[in-house]
Amino acid sequence: MSARRDPAGGGGTMKNCEYRQIEPQGLGTPNAAPPPPAGANDADTRAKRRRKWEVFPGKNRFYCDGRIMVARQSGVLPLTLGLIVLTSCLFFVFDCPFLVEHVTSCIPAIGGALFAFVIISLLQTSFRDPGILPRATADEAAYTEKQIDDSASSSYRPPPRTLEVIINQQVVKLKYCFTCKMFRPPRTSHCSLCDNCVERFDHHCPWVGNCVGKRNYRFFYAFIVSLSFLTAFIFGCVTTHLTLRSQGGKGLITAVQESPLIVCFFSVWSILGLSGFHTYLVASNLTTNEDIKGSWSGNSGVQNTVNPYSYNNIFANCCAVLCAPLPPSLIDRRGFLPTQESPPAAQPQVELPVFVGKSDLTVV
């Protein structure tokens, strides 16, 4: 509205003053930032959240955002890869050309297929979760301690360290792991090098840089068996090469100098022996840990013990160890850590602006 004094009325003038009503819902927050895009908050939140492998309590190393895991002491793995690659390269350079010319052209194809299978099996064994069991949470550990601790007695008694369960009419003792705060399931053992409880623990192999357990034993067995075939194949080809060279008028020493892989003669026997030992374990449904400790052979001090995990059939044992469905990983190393509940955000305070008239009101 406007107010104006007639100049004829004498005294003074009142300048025009205009007023405008502002709706409350039309008020905006001063200096308010524009709303972010729809997916920006989710992306920022996901970027700030940490994955479980970043706080994993075991002694493992993770690469490729947790997709690859190896033991912390995995320095021998590059040596294993180097020896396999170097031996195969020497074979393809020194022996294959002569054998292709004098024997058959299928030798490089067979050697290449065996070499590829060995490398793939080795990497599957080294970079896969061997069957690590997650450690008990604080609530789970408290519940377990409450179950095993007799706090009602006046005198302190340490909690028992074993539980006895019956598997196929055989008493099996479950030991309590003070590191993981849980009773280990059957055939589970705590690896001191990786600091993890591994299900169906076989052994810790420094040559593959990882524990060998339930989730990677079949790949480990495929690795040593294929490596045995590769080594025996190379050794047979080298022997054939030397024989043909020596029959061609050259002496044995000269032939050996042209084929340096005679060193396979010393390594093939150890690899074949290792493959034979694990073939016996697979056929008996045993682990290296159980065989060394004599858990089911009577060497542990318990008489009349039999392997409760054996199917009493070689074929059934091999199928159970090598062909059973592969269980999923239990540690979920690439999962996100649960976010803590944050207090509700404070409501922004709307500050009402101060309105000033367009002109001052003067009275004369």
Closest CA to 210 of 291, 279, 288, 128: 128
Check pLDDT > 90 for residue 265: no
Q: Note the pLDDT tens digit of each residue in 59-101.
A: 989 999 888 898 888 778 999 999 999 999 988 988 888 889 8
Q: Give the tokens for residue 214.
A: 């339930």
Rounded to an integer, the average pLDDT of 48-66 is: 87
Check pLDDT > 80 for residue 102: yes
Report percent pLDDT > 70 for the chain.
70
Rounded to an integer, the average pLDDT of 328-355 is: 63
Check pLDDT > 90 for residue 144: no
- Catalytic entry in 177, 205, 211, 237: 205
What pLDDT does 47 receive?
53
What pLDDT does 251 receive?
58
Check pLDDT > 70 for residue 204: yes
Mean residue pLDDT across the chain: 79
CB count within 10 Å of CB 81 equals 16
Confidence of residue 42 (pLDDT cuts 50, 70, 90): low
At residue 205, what are phi and psi to the nearest 5 degrees? -105, 110
Confidence of residue 303 (pLDDT cuts 50, 70, 90): low
What pLDDT does 78 receive?
93
- Greater confidence (342 vs 226) lies with 226
Q: Give the tokens for residue 339.
A: 């976010």
Closest CA to 84 of 210, 267, 209, 239: 267
pTM for this prediction = 0.76
Q: Note the pLDDT tens digit of each residue in 103-137.
A: 888 999 999 999 999 999 999 999 999 999 999 88
Check pLDDT > 80 for residue 286: yes
Distance CA 278, CA 276 (A): 6
What pLDDT does 306 receive?
86
DSSP state of 58: S
What pLDDT does 350 receive?
44
Closest CA to 80 of 220, 203, 286: 220
321: Cβ–Cβ under 8 A, 6 or more apart, which residues?
217, 218, 221, 282, 285
State which of 139-148, 161-170, 203-212 shows the largest mean pLDDT. Answer: 203-212
Check pLDDT > 70 for residue 30: no
CB burial string 95-115: b at 16+ within 10 A, e below: bbebbeeeeeeebbeebeebb
Report percent pLDDT > 90 for the chain.
41
CA–CA distances in Å: residue 254 to residues 38, 71, 264: 75, 44, 18
Question: What residue type is assigned to position 92 of the chain?
Answer: F
Rounded to an integer, the average pLDDT of 297-306 is: 66
Q: Note the pLDDT tens digit of each residue in 312-328.
A: 999 999 999 999 999 99
Of the CA atoms within 13 Å of residue 299, those in its CB half-sphere come to 7
Q: Give the tokens for residue 222.
A: 């495929």
DSSP count for the chain of H helices, then E strands: 10, 9
What pLDDT does 164 receive?
86
Check pLDDT > 70 for residue 37: no
State which of 113-122, 263-272, 331-340 shows the largest mean pLDDT. Answer: 113-122
What pLDDT does 120 receive?
97
Q: Give the tokens for residue 66.
A: 């947790």
322: Cβ–Cβ under 8 A, 6 or more apart, which residues?
218, 221, 282
What pLDDT does 218 receive?
96
39: Cβ–Cβ under 8 A, 6 or more apart, which residues?
none
**CB 274 within 8 Å of CB 253:** no
What pLDDT does 242 receive?
81
318 is catalytic: no
Rounded to an integer, the average pLDDT of 338-348 is: 51
What pLDDT does 346 receive?
44
What pLDDT does 195 receive?
93
